[in-house]
Amino acid sequence: MKKKIISGILVLLIGCLIYGFYRYNKPPQSLEDVKSELFFSAKELSNKFVADQNKIAKRISKKVVEISGVISSVEFTAHSTLVIVGKNIKCEFQKKHEDFVVGKQVSIKGVYGGFDELFNEISLIKCQITN
């Protein structure tokens, strides 16, 4: 009986250690399989930031936001792609999207990363294309 309890506790302990190890080393979650929670056109979101930045920032914070609009600029870096959608929404993708061109109509989901005050741009990070 004692042996069974001790083995039981050991299994539990090892299980906890393995889980802890897995959680500690887990890479940041991709939004590929995560559903969008809020939807805006690029124009709509840009206008909301002009109207009341704090209000809209609070609303979209920590939520998966989906925007639709036209790509106005594309830039590739070593491991990522940065596009500006509409007037001032900058979206960062963790891979090279060679198919992104200026003028392309896109729907993108991402998480709000903040408002860049140098260029007055709304930042969306961990972006995924949805169309």
Question: How big is the chain, counted in residues?
Answer: 131
Complex with other proteins: residue 7 or 61, whichever CB lies closer: 61
Phi, psi of 3 (to 5 degrees): -60, -40
24 touching other proteins, by CB under 8 A: yes
Is 98:83 a contact under the CB 8 Å cutoff? no
Two tokens, residue 103: 């003028």
Letters for 45-84 (x = contact with other proteins by CB under 8 A, - = none) are ----------------x-------------x-xxxx-x-x
Applying CB under 8 A, which of residues 31, 38, 70, 125 lies at the interface with other proteins? 125
Nearest approach, Cβ of residue 11 and other proteins (Å): 25
Residue 67 CB neighbour total at 10 angstroms: 28
User: CA–CA separation, 18 vs 1, rounded Å?
Assistant: 26
Stretch that binds other proteins, among 27-35, 38-46, 48-56, 99-107 (CB under 8 A): 27-35
117 touching other proteins, by CB under 8 A: yes
User: CA–CA separation, 76 vs 78, rounded Å?
Assistant: 7
Q: Which residues bind other proteins (CB under 8 A)?
A: 23-29, 61, 75, 77-80, 82, 84, 90, 92, 94, 111-119, 121, 123, 125
